[in-house]
Amino acid sequence: MQPSMAKSLRRSFGAVLLVLISLVPLQQARAEEPEVVFSSTWGEKSGDIGLINVPEHEKVGPLSFCIEDGNVYLLDTVNERILQIDPQGHKTVLAESIVPSAICPDGEGGVWVRVGNTIQQINAKGEFQTAKSISPSNGKPTIEGYGVELMKDPEGAVHFRALDQSNVSIDEGKSLSGSSEESETLHYFVKRLSGTDVRLLGETEDGKVLVSIPIQIDNGYPGAVLFKGFDSSGNLYVEMECVEKENIALEVHSYTPGGERLRALRLFNAYFSTVYKKTDITPDGSVYQMKTTPDGVEVLCYKGGGES
């Protein structure tokens, strides 16, 4: 996002007194045909993705991934390496002998990764750079397992998800929406008010809620709901597990800052192995999904645009 756009976005947030939308019924979340941008089989060859498949234990494959400028960065967890796959499908090893649980791009061809309670930057040459501790100085316990993520705000600051669903910056004084002298800064996070009433909230530094967007539930009731960040137009994204009788569906919704739902995607959710991060959002509003099957790993792209 350009600095001017980020400032305009923050000014619009600061002008909102309270957004509390009663959404009218919309078309239900739908499946769309994605583009396969990466595919690999399980195996032990140099080009394969590692898998631990032991009876009566969770299957372990790649735990997380991220996208930037068409490049896929994938945590090949079993082989203790980070793979970079370019838009033509060529794989290179960005870093080895490392087992992160979360990853996000650094905006310069490298990545930020989480290893235990340390956030580590690795540049485009695979060199280890800045390392920052997220415990205990940040003061909030972090998520372990599904939902472990690193993410960037519109100004490029890196955040980790805490157990209370807030997104905590690795740099003190910054929040997910950035900071400005012209308006108040909003932290965005998901909060469950009741069994089916789940909100995406934006609050100021002193805890005043200025934005409250109800997450629309088309079928069943909400399981895990995660805030996924912004696109370059300032729209907000959430990932949600929808519990429907014996089925647990996966959806990604996008909302305007005013609470209008723009898009609701229904995605594959029959994962073969444990995955901490299932989807990633790029600035153009495209939704990427890493899925694992008995045959291997795929990264899918649902192009930006479209309405629910």
Which burial class, exposed, middle or buried, applies to 68 when counting CB atoms under 10 A from its CB (0-12, 13-18, 19+)?
A: buried
pTM listed for this prediction: 0.86
According to the model, what pLDDT value does residue 190 have? 94
pLDDT-wise least confident of 137-141, 174-178, 261-265 = 174-178
Rounded Cα–Cα distance for residues 119 and 199 (Å):
29
171 contacts 121 by C-beta, under 8 angstroms: no
Rounded Cα–Cα distance for residues 128 and 89 (Å):
25
In the numeric block, the tokens 């519990």 are attached to: 243
In the numeric block, the tokens 């970079």 are attached to: 84
Residue 83 reports pLDDT greater than 90? yes
Sign of the alpha-carbon torsion through 49, 50, 56, 57? negative
pLDDT-wise least confident of 1-15, 25-39, 151-165, 237-251 = 1-15
pLDDT-wise least confident of 13-17, 60-64, 145-149, 295-299 = 13-17
pLDDT in tens, 47-73: 899 999 999 899 999 999 999 999 999
What residues does each domain of the chain span? Answer: 1-30+140-267
22 pLDDT band (50/70/90 cuts)?
very low
Residue 175 DSSP class? -
